[in-house]
Chains A and B, each alone.
Chain A
């Protein structure tokens, strides 16, 4: 099937500002953007937080194919957006007729599995300080040369960190303040600076060794 025939069959158009699906809404379609941009956002503590902005060739909503779980985020069209939409039923047809899409999805899943496992490793630590330190390490690993990295500036909030730790914000805040006092980190309104990542590596390594 060529792209045109695909659009005839599976195409859908949204206008700028249309909501495509909403966080916590049940649904099992997933979407491939043909043209336009889509904003992925979440409600976090009474505020709308943009998680990502996607463009042509990007895929979203694919988690619904895997899990019968409601949407984990809201998708909103930023411009006139053309998408192909698929569901569990026509998934196989699509994957076999569009192998480059299947390959792309494979890459996305590989990444997702790693990110989810990495997140799980944080949750499996049973010490709060180690969890917070491991969040910083996880974020540092997203930098290209993270192994040589000594110093890091992160654009995150306490709520973000608490969310990754799976712990209440006030407890995480305590840890951050304590570290700020001893110079392990520097706290600013919009970012956290970690002067020496090896401090964090040490904290996590000690705790991981204990559980072993």
Chain B
């Protein structure tokens, strides 16, 4: 059972650096916690509120007290030994949950600081690191792990500039072939990809949903590097009319020929008669993809206009969220932070919660912090 203990003004409950296994709650009086900031540059003084726990982390973690607890006026304190505290925790999960939240936000702050200090070393982006892990497992001939990591990479970043490389290596790993020795390094290939890309790789690359990817992308065993194959051929049906134009457009899009892609999508949009709902659906997709093509070409104003038309015309489209994100991206490029945040907020509100939602939230957070 926790015990009540009285301290007189001027006394010290514990000093920074002490080891202790007691956790306290202030009942009556006034107590301050004195500490030094981590960079040793400033002294910190915090008042303990009545009913507030203190000394929790160092007691639970068995590490030295980080602050000195000084009693300013005669005070009464509830003292928990570790087993008392555990008993209390079992009976009050809500209080513990609240503490977990506080701890987690503290932890997040420290981690952020660590990352900031390490960030200058030019860490590679996470996508590339995941691919590197896959390739390292491959080189270490841990094939199962390599295959898992390649598949994880392709599942999350199927549109990344290095996805073709990952696909090729996944095939090789699955066939049991040794790691190819003549392969350029990831860095070389990234530099190459940046050179040939018509515009800087947008973070939205990874958010394109399956319907927008080439047929070859979604098959479990795509032909190696086979991007020149006519689209849809593998499904056995030869598309015509709007469908054909649409897929032709996607094909040009994937090759970076956005002007030709725009022409193809325009032909879909000009189609007057449709043989059914499926064909009519291509109209919606083409409108979206055409806007995206303009964005890729850097024609921001046209892209914005096209996305706006799309949003009005297809209020129930499943691409509404993505369209809002793209408009947000355009505002970001125009340095209009407020409007960009606004668009991301619109996007984040659209059901269901998915990776686009969390990406929109990430953008909001980053913009707010910037």
Contacts and interface: CB of A to CB of B under 8 A. Distances in A.
Interface string A1-44: 00000000000000001010011111000000000000000010
A100 interface: yes
A111 to B, nearest CB: 4
A46 B152 CA distance: 19
A189 interface: no
Nearest to B61: A110
B100 A96 contact: no
Contacts of A92: 97
A106 B144 contact: no
A70 B148 contact: no
A99 B121 CA distance: 41
Interface stretch (A112-120, A176-184, A191-199): A112-120
Nearest to B111: A116
Given A68-B358, A113-B57, A113-B106, A105 B100 contact: yes
Contact of B118 (A70, A95, A166): A166
B99 A25 contact: no
B272 interface: no
For A46, A92, A106, the residue with the greatest tally of chain B CB atoms inside 10 Å of its CB is A106
A19 B358 CA distance: 25
Interface in A46-97: 46-48, 65-68, 70, 74, 76, 92, 95-96
B104 to A, nearest CB: 4
B45 interface: no
A109 B89 CA distance: 15
B104 A95 contact: no
Interface string B134-154: 101101101011001100100
Interface string A119-141: 11101100000000000000000
Interface in B66-109: 66, 86, 89-94, 96-97, 99-100, 103-104, 106-108
Nearest to A48: B140
Contacts of B111: 67, 116
Contacts of B270: none
Interface of B is mostly: helix
A102 B358 CA distance: 26
A83 to B, nearest CB: 17
Interface in B99-129: 99-100, 103-104, 106-108, 110-111, 113-114, 117-118, 121, 126-127, 129
B70 to A, nearest CB: 21
Given A23-B130, A121-B38, A66 B108 contact: yes
A211 interface: yes
A96 B56 CA distance: 20
A109 B61 CA distance: 8
B155 to A, nearest CB: 9
8 contacts: A17-B144, A22-B149, A95-B93, A106-B96, A111-B63, A121-B38, A123-B114, A124-B38
Kindly list the 4 A-B residue pairs having the minimum CB-CB distance in the complex, ordered from nearest. Answer: A110-B61, A24-B130, A103-B89, A99-B93
Given A22-B134, A24-B129, A24-B130, 11 more contacts: A46-B136, A66-B104, A66-B108, A105-B100, A106-B89, A106-B103, A114-B58, A123-B117, A166-B121, A211-B41, A212-B40
